[in-house]
Structure 1
């Protein structure tokens, strides 16, 4: 008698698969994403603002590292590696970056473990904190390090004066894909070294290759404005709207959507029977 015949009486999922051929590692990772992400959406407004503000400070310090290395070496690729200090600080400090909130919180809401209202509040307060913390810290950076002001103006102009073209939109889409992939990689392992390596790799891609990241590149623009660049907050608003749209398409429309499709059976189990599913 075949193994298939032995399992005819075994309960199967909606795809006709019995327990022995389900991908338990993928499902365990999905469970961890929901369980780890759920508390983030239940933070108080003050906690969300504080977490977002700290993240803005940390990313600004990454920008400082980028500008310093670029000034010393003339290489954006090396500067991108230096910027990884900001992503590593986010990882170890458990602070909250707006574009890192595309995968985990959305999965939590899709699993019916939080509401859409909580998700919108999470995004809004996290983004506000990122911008406030980044604006203040970039003022401190260009004031304390006058030697990097010209670099701040030049890098800020790259984004503030860019055109709204298919190319720049795709740079924003790719940044959204990369950042959400970083979140996925961090949640896919418990090894801190692997998480740091992932942070360095994505920093190289996003900062070193000048992808359009709504928060990171906003801090370059803020630095350039503080340093006296010939562009202002009107330029920033246009850039920000354009890059957020692309980041959302890449982060939500590509990476997160595919992740939900990849774990659709487990997602349905969460939606039908809320709560832990480790023993399912």
Structure 2
């Protein structure tokens, strides 16, 4: 039995590829195309609520951090915010890498739509996060010192290489978390993924532009001595490396793995509907 025959024997589809890879390609392309083709109002509202919903995780993180002084426990508490994003169907900036990229490569969307999705998601995440940060500062004066200390920890890094590494890790971790959630319909598994992701991102002090910005905004509102220039300088470094972490470390290898399906769709060798039939 040659290699092609062995692959066909192991899969039930007609594309000479493992069923798991076909399922992954179809699910990510379909979800990515849906996100790319949203109307402006839906795109804006989804991004705003992404910043607001993840603020729930920031709230839990600050509560546990002050009560226990443990970054690990605070990180697990932050996972509630990631779970809120999933269950409320809102979105975080770095969730937008793998899914729309697959859709664009497969011809199910355009590069302009992907740039629009990225830019609107980032801006609206920040706007929603700022609104939630103001509410936290207004409502919880007893937590201002914890918020300030946490924000300064994000801004004051040992060196530029450390800052770059923590930004790459954050982008890769959140993007992989999104892919893992996409691969299951089990709510318990989704909750576990969110808690573990929060544990890693917050517990290890990773730098994530959209997430950390909420804490930094809150600290600025408390009068912690952080200027807009300080934030913008930090943000200009973190966001590009968040993107590189999500795109190069996580998304690109998965695109290469399913490239035959993606390019086959782009060349119209088969349709998305035909692929969906084979995954049923």
Q: Same fold (TM over 0.5)?
A: yes
Identify the residue that residue 14 of structure 1 maps to in structure 2. none
**In 2: Cα distance, 1:126 partner to 1:136 partner:** 15
Please tell me whether residue 272 in structure 1 is matched to residue 267 in structure 2: yes
Alignment of 1:81-96 (within 5 A): 81-96=76-91
Q: 1:3-56: per-residue Cα shift (whole Å, max 9, x none)? A: 44996xxx9xxxxxx959621111112101111221111111111111111111
1:149 to 144, 151, 160: 144
Please tell me whether residue 46 in structure 1 is matched to residue 44 in structure 2: no
2:29 to 29, 34, 56: 34
Identify the residue that residue 58 of structure 2 maps to in structure 1. 63
2:127 to 123, 132, 145: 132
**In 1: Cα distance, 2:57 partner to 2:24 partner:** 29
RMSD of Structure 2 on Structure 1 (CA) = 2.2
**In 1: Cα distance, 2:121 partner to 2:219 partner:** 23
Q: Is the 8 A contact 1:179 1:202 kept in 2?
A: yes
**In 2: Cα distance, 1:255 partner to 1:91 partner:** 19
Q: 1:193-212: per-residue Cα shift (whole Å, max 9, x none)? A: 11111111111101121101
Identify the residue that residue 159 of structure 1 maps to in structure 2. 154
Alignment of 1:200-279 (within 5 A): 200-273=195-268, 274-276=271-273, 277-279=275-277
**In 2: Cα distance, 1:263 partner to 1:111 partner:** 10
Unpaired runs of 5+ in structure 1? 12-17
Q: Is the 8 A contact 1:164 1:242 kept in 2?
A: no
Secondary structure at 2:171's aligned position in 1?
helix
Q: 1:86-105: per-residue Cα shift (whole Å, max 9, x none)? A: 10000000001111101111
Identify the residue that residue 100 of structure 1 maps to in structure 2. 95
Unpaired runs of 5+ in structure 2? none
Q: Is the 8 A contact 2:97 2:251 kept in 1?
A: yes
Q: Is the 8 A contact 1:38 1:113 kept in 2?
A: yes
Identify the residue that residue 74 of structure 1 maps to in structure 2. 69
